[in-house]
C-alpha cells in the first residue's frame, strides 16, 4: 500500500492511497480503505465498487481524496479530541475472492435472471406415466402405475409398506381394498402435484383416505371443503366424520357453528340419531358449548336424556 500527493487536471491537490501487487498472483479482491483518528474512531471510509484484479502489472485500486477536504476532516477531528495528537491511522482491508474472474465495470446490480422453480411441475409430469415407474397399485379393479420414491416420500404409510421386506416391497405391488378407484386416483394425483381437482365433489371419502395415509395437507383441504358445505341438517354427519378421523380443525368449526345455531341443529333428525348412537361425542360437544357460554343449564334443557357432561370445569349432571 502506498500513499502520495499528486495534482489532478484541474490542479487540485489529491491524496492517493493505492493497493497493488508486485507478484504475478492474479488475485481478485475487494478493497476497503478507512481513515481513523489515533484512538481508532472512524473518520471516513470507502470500498471498491468493482472486483480488483491484482496481476502484478501495477494493477490494483486507488482512492483519490481532495487533499484540502482530507486535511479539514482529519485534522479538524484531531484538534477537537481531548487527547489529540498529530497522527491518524490509514487502514486497508483486503477480501480475497476465490474462484472469481476479473470483471470490468462490475457494480453489484441485479443482472442475473434466475429461472423459476419447476420442481413441482416436473414431478407432476410423471403422474400416470409408466416411464421409470416401479410400483403397481391395484384399487377397485383398476391397476395404476406409480413411483415408489414419490408415494413413500409423501405418505408415511406407503413408506412403511416399502421400506422393509414386506410382500408389497418384494412384489412391487400394493392392493387397496377400502378406497374407491376414483378417490384413490385423486389422492395419488395430489401426491405428485400438491393439488386436488374437484375436491368439493367428494370431500367425505377423500378426507378418510387422506387421514389413513397420513396426508395432512390434503386432509386439511378436505376439512375446509366440508366446512363450506356445512348446514343445519348435515351437522351431525360431518361432526361424526370429523370425530372418527381426527379432523380437529373441522370439529372446532362445527362446535362454533352449533353454538350459533343450537336449537336448529339439535332439532334435526340427524342430531337426535347421533345422540342415541354416540352419547360420548354428544356429551363432549355439550361440554365444549357450556365452556363457551358458561351456562350449563341452558344446554341441559336441550339434552335428549339424563346424562353426565364432562366440561373443562369438571362433570355436570343434567337431569330431566
pTM: 0.59
Going across the sheet that includes 60-66, the strands are 2-7, 13-20, 60-66
Is residue 296 over pLDDT 50? Answer: no
Higher pLDDT, 309 or 112: 112
Going across the sheet that includes 173-176, the strands are 142-146, 135-139, 173-176
Per-residue pLDDT tens digits for 12-43: 555 565 656 555 456 677 777 777 777 777 87
pLDDT, position 165: 86
Q: Work out the pLDDT band at 62, boundaries 50, 70, 90.
A: low
Average pLDDT in the chain: 78
| CATH code, 230-320 | 1.25.40.420
| CATH code, 119-218 | 3.30.710.10
Per-residue pLDDT tens digits for 102-140: 444 444 556 678 788 888 788 888 888 888 888 999 998
pLDDT, position 152: 93
Which triple of cell numbers denotes residue 130? 409408466
Architecture of the domain spanning 2-96: Sandwich (2.60)
What is the arithmetic mean of pLDDT over 66-91? 66
Per-residue pLDDT tens digits for 269-291: 999 999 999 889 988 888 888 87
Considering 9-13, 99-103, 192-196, the range whose residues carry the highest mean pLDDT is: 192-196
Where b means 16+ CB within 10 Å and e means fewer, 238-262 reads bbbbbbebebeebbebbbebbeeeb
pLDDT, position 2: 54
Is residue 226 over pLDDT 60? Answer: yes
Cα(307)–Cα(317) distance, integer angstroms: 6
CATH topology identical between 2-96 and 230-320 = no
CA nearest neighbour of 39 among 99, 96, 80:
80
pLDDT, position 183: 94
Lowest pLDDT segment from 40-49, 53-62, 280-289: 53-62
What is the arithmetic mean of pLDDT over 142-156? 93
Question: In DSSP terms, which residues pair with 307 in a beta bridge?
Answer: 318
Is residue 311 over pLDDT 60? Answer: no
Domain-wise residue ranges, the chain = 2-96, 119-218, 230-320
Q: Are 244 and 278 in contact (CB under 8 A)?
A: no
Q: Work out the pLDDT band at 312, boundaries 50, 70, 90.
A: very low
Per-residue pLDDT tens digits for 254-273: 999 999 888 899 999 999 99
pLDDT, position 210: 96
Q: What percent of the chain stands above pLDDT 70? A: 66
Considering 99-108, 160-169, 300-309, the range whose residues carry the highest mean pLDDT is: 160-169
Cα(132)–Cα(148) distance, integer angstroms: 10
Amino acid at each position: 500500500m502506498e500513499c502520495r500527493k499528486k495534482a489532478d487536471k484541474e490542479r487540485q491537490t489529491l491524496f492517493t492511497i493505492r493497493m497493488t501487487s508486485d507478484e504475478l498472483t492474479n488475485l481478485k479482491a475487494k478493497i476497503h480503505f478507512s481513515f481513523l483518528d489515533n484512538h481508532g474512531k472512524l473518520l471516513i471510509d470507502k470500498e471498491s465498487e468493482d472486483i480488483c484484479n491484482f496481476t502484478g502489472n501495477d494493477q490494483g485500486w486507488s482512492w483519490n481524496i481532495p487533499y484540502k477536504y482530507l486535511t479539514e476532516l482529519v485534522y479538524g477531528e484531531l484538534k477537537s479530541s481531548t487527547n489529540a495528537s498529530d497522527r491518524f491511522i490509514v487502514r486497508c482491508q483486503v477480501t480475497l475472492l476465490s474462484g472469481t474472474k476479473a470483471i470490468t465495470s462490475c457494480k453489484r446490480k441485479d443482472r442475473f435472471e434466475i429461472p423459476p422453480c419447476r420442481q413441482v411441475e416436473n414431478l407432476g409430469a410423471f403422474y400416470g406415466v409408466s416411464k421409470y415407474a416401479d410400483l403397481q397399485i391395484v384399487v377397485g379393479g383398476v391397476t395404476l402405475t406409480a413411483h415408489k420414491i414419490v408415494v413413500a416420500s409423501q405418505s408415511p404409510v406407503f413408506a412403511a409398506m416399502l421400506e422393509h421386506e414386506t410382500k408389497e416391497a418384494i412384489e412391487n405391488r400394493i392392493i387397496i381394498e377400502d378406497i374407491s378407484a376414483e378417490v384413490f386416483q385423486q389422492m395419488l394425483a395430489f401426491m405428485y402435484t400438491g393439488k386436488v381437482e374437484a375436491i368439493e365433489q367428494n370431500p367425505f371419502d377423500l378426507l378418510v383416505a387422506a387421514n389413513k395415509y397420513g396426508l395432512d395437507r390434503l386432509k386439511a383441504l378436505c376439512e375446509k371443503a366440508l366446512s363450506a358445505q356445512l348446514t343445519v341438517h348435515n351437522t351431525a354427519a360431518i361432526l361424526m366424520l370429523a370425530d372418527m378421523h381426527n379432523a380437529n380443525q373441522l370439529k372446532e368449526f362445527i362446535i362454533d357453528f352449533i353454538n350459533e345455531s343450537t336449537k336448529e341443529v339439535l332439532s334435526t333428525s340427524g342430531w337426535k340419531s347421533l345422540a342415541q348412537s354416540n352419547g360420548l361425542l354428544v356429551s363432549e360437544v355439550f361440554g365444549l358449548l357450556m365452556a363457551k357460554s358458561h351456562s350449563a343449564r341452558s344446554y341441559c334443557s336441550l339434552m335428549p336424556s339424563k346424562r353426565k357432561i364432562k366440561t373443562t370445569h369438571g362433570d355436570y349432571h343434567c337431569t330431566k
